[in-house]
Amino acid sequence: MEDSNLGETLKPYLSAVRVPKPGDKVFKDECLLSFDTPESETGLYVCLNTFLGYGRHCIDQHVNKTGNKIFLHLRKIKKLLPQEKSELEPEKKITRLAIGIEGGFPMESATKYEYEERHSIAIFPGPIEIQLPHPNLPVQLENSIQGILAATSAGYLEELSALESTWDGENRLVSKFAENLNQLHNGVKVPPKGWQCTKCDKTENLWLNLSDGTILCGRKFFDGTGGNNHALEHYEATGYPLAVKLGTISGDGKADVYSYAEDDMVEDPYLKQHLSHFGINMDGMKKTDKSMAELEIDLNQRVGEWASIQETGKSLVPLFGPGYTGLANLGNSCYLNSVIQVLFTVPSFQERFFNDREAIISAADTNAFQDFNVQMSKLAVGILSGRYSLPIADEENQHQQGIKPSMFKSLVGKGHPEFSTKRQQDAVEFLLHMINITERNMRVHPKPSTSPVESFKFQVEERLQCLASGQVRYTRRPEYHLPVPVPLETASNTEEVRLFNEQKKAAMTAGQPFKSDDVVRPKVTLQSCFEALIRPEEVQNFYSSAIKAKTTALKTTKLATFPDYLWIQLRKFTLAEDWTPWHSTFKPGPHSVREVTDRVQPLLLLNRGNRMLLIRLDGSMCP
């Protein structure tokens, strides 16, 4: 566009342009109504008034509702870097279940890809595009653009808040060494800048030992970044327990303090005093480096891009198209991804949030990121439309873009003591949480109808018979999932289990390591689990109103009604003699279900057609 026409073109829109203030949320990573990002083919458009981001096919609705027509158009073009000769070597055999170490799975190189950023101003309708950078932009517009580019994205802030709620507060205890910390009078004074590890050339991830003032690098991360473990080695040599991460110290009294003796992040109420000992005025400090929570986000994002693990001897075939969209792990979101993927195979959820998507999205306002129905519809479209499940080929393999349910995770976890954090969670608890939220939000749905969770609702009937009087009492209660016991006594391989346990016990008694390629677990059929559920059970110390005294009763449980889809929680844990959890292998007759060995309760979803879906709910810590 000619500079002479630039001012006239921009003039009608400048009154709507705002500069982001410290409290403003800037949504520049992901569309509010879809999973388009700056890396998508058409990029992401950020409104210069509301700082909300939209994909190209969602932007007209925002323009029509708000009248805001000027946007910052963000695009990132991902380019594969030329491989060096070392990267062209034959693939190494995997011998260890680990990441980034010898014999383990390789990490994707941080320099494997580079991004070319192409930004512009977009004015709708049209749009009219003004390429950036541009030397003659009005000051207000230039400041708005620079403010958006410099701002920390709303999604990143939410993730950081979740991590800090996991690491801080009640979970970060006051160190027992803080009050009487031994600080040497060795004349050490720490300069305000120019820090470097005293044992190597590292100038990042540096930790100041609060006993002797030595500056040393931190631990080496699994992907090879970080430090050279010199701070840890210094503690092992001296026993000085506390260290503070340089660059995280701020005037508001915050900093990352680690106790090597307690092996955890800790609080140091005397940090200001401890820093003053080495000439550091905490009141004048500003945070200049990433906290440990921020570093964990970076590492999780890098791990999220790495998806090459597969079972030994198995050739995994990538699938694409509607219903075959992958959900990226956000560091601890295995439980959420598993439940959501299965929920959207259920017709009632598809009808409510996918078929009615136009009514839901058209009713969305600028608070769409806080609207459960909008975010569920966004997920439904992301998973079922196939829009984000198109084959993408690079020089190594074929893969799909997939989606990151970051905005949804933040919304459904908001205010919850567990799901708002980055801790690992149980999928059964999350399923029940989702059922409650869905029921609650059906009242504000733009197209009221039967709640989709009615597909899971059924009645459990309990029959209690007083054995002294013979009188019977029936009670019913509504349920949405069915916990069933696992009767180990019905296992089909009892003898094999006994021999395995004897060998393990003998090895432990002799003080020898017990090595076995195959752990032998009891094999229990799903039919046996159901039979154990409905088997009459004696209830001791039952107060009978008939005889007005305590006696024994017989309790029988059964399903009075059956839902369209039945969630079954398999109570697979028992305790072995050594107090370790014991897992069972389920054999549900003609259905092929792989062994469940995860650390949280598995779920089965049965429908009237006898189809079975198994969710592997691993809940295991991500690297």
Q: Which pLDDT band holds residue 516 (cuts at 50, 70, 90)?
A: low
User: How does pLDDT run across 197-243, given as a tens digit for each residue?
Assistant: 999 988 888 999 999 999 999 887 655 567 888 999 999 999 999 99
Rounded to whole angstroms, the Cα distance separating 549 from 554 reads 16
Mean pLDDT within 428-455:
85
| pLDDT, position 616 | 39
Domain at 307-390+400-454, CATH class: alpha beta
Mean pLDDT within 452-480:
94
Q: Which pLDDT band holds residue 397 (cuts at 50, 70, 90)?
A: low
| pLDDT, position 307 | 42
| pLDDT, position 449 | 73
- Looking at 3.30.40.10, 3.40.50.12780, 3.90.45.10, 3.10.20.30, the CATH number of the domain 3-151 comes to 3.30.40.10
Find the range with the poorest average confidence among 75-89, 112-126, 313-327, 588-602. 588-602
Mean pLDDT within 442-457:
80
Tell me the three-class secondary structure of 360-396, residue by residue.
Answer: HHHCCCCCHHHCHHHHHHHHHHHHHCCCCCCEEECCC
Distances (CA, A) of 263 to 144, 172, 295, 561: 44, 12, 18, 52
**Residue 2: φ, ψ to 5°:** -65, 140
Query: Which one has a higher pLDDT value, 417 or 534?
Result: 534
Rounded to whole angstroms, the Cα distance separating 13 from 121 reads 12
Rounded to whole angstroms, the Cα distance separating 115 from 106 reads 22
| pLDDT, position 510 | 73
Helix, strand, coil percentages for the chain (3-state, nearest 5): 30, 20, 50
- 266 Cβ partners below 8 Å, 6+ apart? 172, 173, 174, 175, 178, 242, 257, 258, 259
Q: Which helix (H) or strand (E) holds 438?
A: helix 427-441
Q: Which pLDDT band holds residue 265 (cuts at 50, 70, 90)?
A: confident
Which numeric CATH code is attached to 171-292? 3.30.40.10
- The identity of residue 283, as a single letter, is D
Rounded to whole angstroms, the Cα distance separating 518 from 153 reads 47
Rounded to whole angstroms, the Cα distance separating 149 from 29 reads 11
171-292 matches 3-151 in CATH topology: yes
pLDDT over 50 at 105, yes or no: no
pTM here is: 0.68
Q: Which pLDDT band holds residue 88 (cuts at 50, 70, 90)?
A: very low
Query: Which one has a higher pLDDT value, 398 or 481?
Result: 481
Between CA 128 and CA 135, with CA 132 as vertex, the angle to 5 degrees is: 110
Find the range with the poorest average confidence among 76-85, 148-157, 523-532. 76-85
Domain extents in the chain? 3-151, 171-292, 307-390+400-454, 457-615
Find where tokens 């029936």 sit: 474
User: How does pLDDT run across 588-613, given as a tens digit for each residue?
Assistant: 433 222 223 333 455 677 665 444 45
Rounded to whole angstroms, the Cα distance separating 122 from 144 reads 14
Name which of 456, 249, 489, 449 is nearest 356 in CA terms. Answer: 449
Mean pLDDT within 507-535:
79
- Number of Cα atoms under 13 Å in the Cβ half of residue 164: 12
pLDDT over 70 at 302, yes or no: no
Name which of 132, 151, 150, 148 is nearest 10 in CA terms. Answer: 132
Mean pLDDT within 457-473:
94
Tokens of 383: 């998973």
Which numeric CATH code is attached to 457-615? 3.90.70.10
User: How does pLDDT run across 362-384, given as a tens digit for each residue?
Assistant: 889 889 999 999 999 999 999 99
pLDDT over 50 at 111, yes or no: no
Mean pLDDT within 531-555:
92
Find the range with the poorest average confidence among 454-463, 567-576, 605-614. 605-614
Strands (E), 213-344: 215-217, 242-245, 257-259, 264-266
User: How does pLDDT run across 54-78, given as a tens digit for each residue?
Assistant: 999 999 999 999 999 999 999 998 8
Q: Say how far residue 522 (Cα) sits from the centre of its chain.
A: 32
Find where tokens 């792989």 sit: 594
- On whether the CB atoms of residues 595 and 581 are closer than 8 A, the answer is no
Rounded to whole angstroms, the Cα distance separating 524 from 532 reads 11
Mean pLDDT within 152-175:
68
Return mean pLDDT, the chain.
Answer: 80
Mean pLDDT within 388-404:
76
Q: CB count, 10 Å around CB of 75?
A: 18
Mean pLDDT within 153-160:
78
